[in-house]
Structure 1
Amino acid sequence: MSKIPVTAVFDIGKTNKKFFLFDENLKEVFNTYTRLDAIPDEDGFPSEPVLPLREWMLKTFKEALSSPDFDIKNSTSPDMELLLSRLTMQENQSRHCMTT
């Protein structure tokens, strides 16, 4: 069976974070959601937990890229490869900074 060509969309709302795959007819063929509770910033105001959000986005997108069922359009373009390599590099640097 051949992979379904899809377009990936992240919908990052204030409360819910969503990821969708749409086929060429714009029919939703996959979705996943997560909810990340706000954390206080340096002034005590609720703020987005950026590192957990980034980790969820990376994990979700990498899983979608490796799916046997879906082929994300343009996922092998030089721009996409550059984006993934930069995100992975930042992820590794963040882990290093957080542990030292």
Structure 2
Amino acid sequence: MVAPDPARDTPQQMRTWLDQFAPAFIGATGPIDQIVARARAPGIGITPPVTTDGGYQVTHGAQVPAYGREAQAREIDDSGVAPAAIAQDIPPLLAGSDAR
């Protein structure tokens, strides 16, 4: 998981959130401009956090990219995709071909 709000997503908050899924999951962060650029490259929607009318808004994607051996996103699954469908993507990616 990459923090969509690095100014507020502390390592402790990310760890708490990730532990809800699996303790082995890793969180990453960095400068927001780099996060936005890296997310947009494979087609994940994200915008820098903004303050409007006294509120604070964070827009982030919920897609899960699957990367092949060449470090290119080969498959992007939207939130709600069944784990079994995602699991089907893994063998072709490991073999060096496109998923599904």
Q: Which has the higher contact order (CA 8 A, sep 6+)?
A: 1
Write 1 or 2 for the structure with the bigger share of strand: 1
TM range (shorter): under 0.3
In the superposition, the TM-score normalised over structure 1's length comes to: 0.28
More helix by share: 1
